Structure 1
Amino acid sequence: MADKVGERRLAIRHEGQRMFDWMAFVLEYEGAVPYQVGSPMHLASPHVADAYATAARWIRNVRIEREIELEIPVETLVFQDKDDREIRIEYRHLWSEAHLVVDGELTERFSQRDFNHLNAVVRELADNFYADRNLWRARM
């Protein structure tokens, strides 16, 4: 996707063999980035980066932990909430739902794509004022 940091798009130039020669030059000059889950700074789930940005608005010191569970990459947002509990929001690669785990106990499942819900959950965990008044949570 073009909206990800550090990515550029190049229009294909030329036709036929000249096009392939041009592509070979670009790949040799720019280098290719192989898909390799677990490599440094690589996220398997496209939703984790957006989830991190959402959580980081409300919580300081959010970190991402990565592990392989039954050959499936699991990327987890980890932070302490306002009550000093360990919060883990787990994203399993190719699953549709995220898991909210509070002090080791699964408390909620929600769509990995539902950033409005994620925002509401994190905001509630971060701020006492919104714990009772959060409009997103009240709609559920």
Structure 2
Amino acid sequence: MIEQLASVVAVDTSGVWLTTTPVSSCNACNVSDDCGTGIVAKTLTPRQHRFFVSTSLSLLPGEQVKIAVSEQNLLQAAFVVYLLPLVLMLLSALYVSNGLQLTEGWVMLAALLGASIGFFIARRFSLWQQTKTEQIHIIQVLPELKIHPA
């Protein structure tokens, strides 16, 4: 299981809305302010992810929880979102180039069409996975630390 900390932002009758802050390795480097990759990562990385998790726990906004997702689900999602469009793009370009012997314009168009079909399938698969099972589980409610003045 892959674990991450999340904050409760809203409570619903059937679950809670959580936010997580993405962890980037670019923040740990000493030259991240001067590095092109670090600047792009800070610019394009969303500040927080917000999502709904159904649970019977009685949580309050502001509480911290530890959530987990299985490695299998994560790898499966990565395959569908990244690898499937790439494979369909390459296969369609190869088919049009070698099988049909068409010009470069048609090859590029076929590659774009193959990638688009891959992204369409990935979108349908993600919607089907969301309705199939609950992917994210709350495994622990973290205690709050309160400091009392002396």
TM range, smaller chain:
under 0.3
Bigger helix share: 2
Q: Which has the larger radius of gyration?
A: 2
Q: TM-score, normalised by structure 1?
A: 0.24
